Amino acid sequence: MIELGVCYYPEQWPRELWERDARHMRELGLRVVRIGEFAWSRIEPRSGELCWDWLDQALDTLHRHELRVVLGTPTATPPKWLVDAHPDILALDEHGHARGFGSRRHYCFSSPQYRAQAARIVTLMAERYGSHEAVCAWQTDNEYGCHSTVLSYSAAARERFRAWLQQRYGTIEALNQAWGTVFWSQEYTDFAQVDPPAGTVTEANPSHRLDWRRFASDEVAEFNRMQVDILRRHSPGRDVLHNFMGFFTEFDHHRLARDLDVAAWDSYPLGATQNFFLDAHEKQRHAFTGHPDIPAFHHDLYRGMCQGRWWVMEQQPGPVNWAQWNPAPHPGMVRLWSWQALAHGAEVISYFRWRQAPYAQEQMHAGLQRPDGSDDLGALEVAQVARELDALREPLRAARQRRQAPVALVFDYASLWMADIQPQGRDYLALEACFRAYAALRQWGLDVDLLPPGAELQGYALVLLPAQLRGEAALAEALRRSGAQVLLGPRAGSKTEELHIPAGLAPGAFAELAGVQVQRVSSLPPGVELPLRLGDDGPTLRASRWCEQLALRGAQAQARFADGSAALTRKDDCWYLAAWLDQAGWLALIEHLAPAAGLGLQRLPEGLRISRVGELALALNFSDSPVRWEPPQGEATRLLGALELPPRGLSVWKLLPAASAH
Ligand code: GAL
C-alpha cells in the first residue's frame, strides 16, 4: 500500500467527537490511523481491571469509516498502580536514582517484572484485537530509547549484564584479556565482580563501556522480540513495526529491525535541525524548512532495514514543542516532506497528531487540527497530497520495486558507539561525518543506500565508509569483492571488535585494501584548520577537527597537506581520507571521486533535491526561490508540477528507459 495516515488519541477526546473525527480523516484522504500506544491507564485503570469498551468503540468507529488501524502496544507508559506495586520496574540512572513516574519511558528493559507485565498487557491486547478486521499492523511500544532510556543501572540490569558477559567471553580470563584489565589493576577473578561502568573516579574502561552499550542494545532488541512473538502468535497476517527516531543511535537498529516487518521512523525535520550538530548558520538558513537532507538520510537508513519496507510513522505537521526553538514550518512544507518520503519509497506517511491537545506536556505541539477542532494548515496540505497521490499511486508503486542506488554508505552502530566512547577530540562526531558525506552525495544529485556493514555491496559504483572505526575482515572482503570505488574515512579500522588498537595499527582490517598505515592522529581545536590540496591542480580544502599522518604502503597520495604529507590516498579502487572535512570539503571530494566511479554528477541549485525511484524522478525545491529543473538527459514526461518549481514546489517525471538507467 501507499497511503497517508495519522496518529490519534481517542482516549483524550469525548466519545461524541470520534465519529466526526473519523469522517473528517476520510475526507482529508487519510486511510491509516495509529492508536493506543500510550493508553495503558485507560485499558487497565487498576490491576486486572480491564476496560475494553472504549477501545472496542474506537476501533469500530474507525473501521466503519474504512480506516485501517495500527494498534500500538502501550508499554512505553506503565501506569501508576503498576509502578507503585512494583517499583523495581523503574529504570535507574547512573547515580542509582529511579527515573520517576509522571512522563513516559520510565521502565527498565532488564526488569523481569516489567517484562512479565509487558508480555501480559501485549497478550491481552493481541488476543482481543489480533483478528479485528480494522487492525492492519501493530506498533511495538513507542520510540525505544527516547529521552535517553536505553541504559538502566538497576540490579536486574547488573545481573543480566554479568550473564551476558559470561555468555560472550566464556571465561573471566577472556574478559580480562578483551578489556585489557591489567591496566590500572582492573582485573577480575569472577563475572560476579563486574558492575556496570558507573561511578568510577575518571572514565571507566572503554571496552567495558562498549560491552555495556552492546548489552543494553541487546536488551532492547530482546524486549522488542518478546512483543513481536506474542503479536505474531495472536495476530497473524498483520505487519509488526516499531517507530524509530531520527539521529538516534543508542541501540543497534539494524539488529532490532531483523525482527520487524516494517521499519518505521518519526520525522521532525525542524526539531532535528535545531537540536543536532548543524552550525548556527545552517540552523538559521533551514529554520522553516529543515535541512533537506535530514529526512532523506533517515528515509534511506530505514529503507535499508526490512527488505526495503519502511514508513514514516510520525510526520511533523506544524511547530513542535520539544526542540530548543520551534519555528512554524513554511506553508508547503508538510506537502513537500510528504512527497520527499514518497520519493524515497515510503509505504505510509502518518502525521503526528490528529488534533493538538489543549493540556499536558505537548499542548504546544501542533496537530493537523487546532485544539478547537478547526483544520490547521497541515490538514489542507495533507488533503492536497492525498489528491495528488490518487493520481500517482500506480506509477509510484511500480517505481518502488526499486533499483539499487548507485552509491552505498555503510552505517555501523558499533562504530558510532566507539567514537562516542573515545571521541579523542570533542567535536569528532561519527554521526555527523556520515551525514556530511551523505548530504554531499545528495547535493550532487546522487541517490544513496545506507547499509549495515554486513550488507552485500556488489553493484554499487561507489561505497563510502565515513566513520567505520570498527575494522572487520568480512567487511574488508565485501569491499574488495564489490568492484566499487571505496572511500574509507579517517579512523577507519582504527579499532578492533574489543576496542583495541589493531596489531598492525590503523586501518587494521582495511590495511591491505587501503595500502596505508596510520602512524599518528591529531584532533584539532575549533578554529585550527589545515589546508589540503586535492590533486595537482585541484581545489584547496580545509581539514578541521581531525587529521592523521599516513605511511604509504602501496597507495599513492591524491591530496596533500601543506607539509607534503598525504591527506587522501588511493590504492587501486580504495581511497583513504586522512582528515575531517566540512560540507564544502565533502562536496569537492565527491566531485573528485566521481570520474573513477563512472558517476555522472549534476550540481543542484541550493535547496533543490532530486530522487530517482525506478522510472520516476522527483524534484523537490526546499529553497525560498523558484528553481527550474528537468531531467538532464533523455526524454521524460512530467506527471506533476511545472518546469519552474516555486519555493516548496515539486515535480514528478517519468523517464523513458534510457534516461532511467544509471
Ligand atoms: C515523538 C513521540 C510522540 C510525540 C512526538 C512529539 O517523539 O513518539 O509521542 O511525543 O514525538 O513530537
Tens of pLDDT, residue by residue over 432-480, are 999 999 999 999 999 999 999 999 999 999 999 999 999 999 999 999 9
Any ligand 1 atom below 6 A from CB of 352: yes
pLDDT at 409: 98
Closest approach atom of ligand 1 to CA 320: 12
pTM metric for this prediction? 0.98
Any ligand 1 atom below 6 A from CB of 161: no
Low-confidence ranges of the chain (pLDDT < 50): 662
The answer to whether 489 and 467 are in contact (CB under 8 A) is yes
User: Which residues 6+ apart lie within 8 Å of 371 measured at CB?
Assistant: 355, 356, 357, 358, 363
Any ligand 1 atom below 6 A from CB of 146: yes
Closest to 410 measured CA to CA, from 476, 483, 336: 476
pLDDT at 659: 52
Q: How far does the centroid of ligand 1 lie from the alpha carbon of residue 570, in Å?
A: 45
**Residue 343 DSSP SS3:** helix
- Cα separation, 214 vs 305, whole angstroms: 19
The pick from 241, 350, 362 for probing ligand 1's pocket by mutation, whose C-beta has the most ligand atoms within 8 angstroms, reads 362
Domains of the chain: 407-597 (3.40.50.880), 608-660 (2.60.40.1180)
Closest to 452 measured CA to CA, from 493, 409, 392: 409
pLDDT at 660: 52
143 is catalytic: yes
Closest approach atom of ligand 1 to CA 268: 12
Q: Which of 143, 219, 250, 615 is catalytic?
A: 143
The pick from 322, 337, 350, 361 for probing ligand 1's pocket by mutation, whose C-beta has the most ligand atoms within 8 angstroms, reads 322
529 is catalytic: no
Closest approach atom of ligand 1 to CA 142: 8
Q: Which of 314, 388, 432, 548 is catalytic?
A: 314
Q: How far does the centroid of ligand 1 lie from the alpha carbon of residue 243, in Å?
A: 10
The pick from 73, 103, 143 for probing ligand 1's pocket by mutation, whose C-beta has the most ligand atoms within 8 angstroms, reads 143
Q: How far does the centroid of ligand 1 lie from the alpha carbon of residue 237, in Å?
A: 27
Strand arrangement of the beta sheet that strand 616-621 belongs to = 608-613, 616-621, 650-655, 636-640
User: Which residues 6+ apart lie within 8 Å of 372 measured at CB?
Assistant: none
Any ligand 1 atom below 6 A from CB of 143: yes
Any ligand 1 atom below 6 A from CB of 316: no
User: Which residues 6+ apart lie within 8 Å of 427 measured at CB?
Assistant: 526, 545
Any ligand 1 atom below 6 A from CB of 181: no
Closest approach atom of ligand 1 to CA 243: 8
